[in-house]
Amino acid sequence: MSSRRTKTSISRPALRSRPRDFVIPVAFAGAWFWVKMELAAYHMPPPLEQQAQAIVTLPSGSSTLQLEIAQSDRDRATGLMYRRSLPRNAGMLFPLLHPYIPKIWMKHVNFPLDIIFIKQGRIESIVHNAPPCQGLTYCPTYSPPVAVDTVLELLGGRAKELNLVMGSKVVLPVKLGMVVTDQSP
């Protein structure tokens, strides 16, 4: 007897593609396009009614900061993510809906930030020069030791330049801005 194989006994991979082989890449491409369009919206400057002037009073004079107020959930979730830069005299103010211990991370932020945690008009904690996250595996979070009602983010190094310290009194008049009135605890 011969040990020949017949053509029917040889298994070959299917050469024809199945319809689902096209559905997944097309769905992925559509989702990617939607995500890119959503991210493009984050690069747009906020409307003027969401921006506020902030005056920081220092012993040697005063500096003016242009702060954006994160009013919506989307603004609070996005913060300063996806921005290529932040002007030296700019920042973002996060009035929280109720006092709690927020966890701030630097994912998709492209520059170091000073994160200032404020409770009832007093600076409770400052994270100086929080670095942007490197890589996709781990991104640390930054939190104050106590519940706060406001978070202020400035370009890294600005808190020291402006002599902002723990215990400084901060006045937030009707969501129009911020005035540091005293650098003493």
pLDDT in tens, 60-117: 456 667 788 887 788 888 888 888 888 888 888 888 888 999 999 898 899 999 999 9
Overall average pLDDT of the 151-164 stretch:
91
Above 60 in pLDDT, residue 59? no
Q: Which of the two residues, 93 and 8, has the higher pLDDT score?
A: 93
Question: What are the DSSP calls for 63-74, one per residue?
Answer: EEEEEEE--SHH
**Secondary structure (3-state) at 76:** helix
| All domains of the chain in start order, with CATH | 48-182 (2.60.120.1140)
Residues 6+ apart with CB under 8 A from 177: 52, 53, 54, 55, 67
Of the candidate ranges 28-32, 103-107, 121-125, 159-163, the one whose mean pLDDT is the lowest: 28-32
Residues 6+ apart with CB under 8 A from 40: none
**Secondary structure (3-state) at 96:** strand
pLDDT of residue 182: 47
Question: What are the DSSP calls for 116-185, one per residue?
Answer: EEEETTEEEEEEEEEPPP-SSS---EE--SS-EEEEEEEETTHHHHTT--TT-EEE--TTS--EEEE---
**Secondary structure (3-state) at 49:** helix
pTM: 0.67
pLDDT tens figures, 165-178: 898 877 664 444 44
Which amino acid is located at 1 in the chain?
M
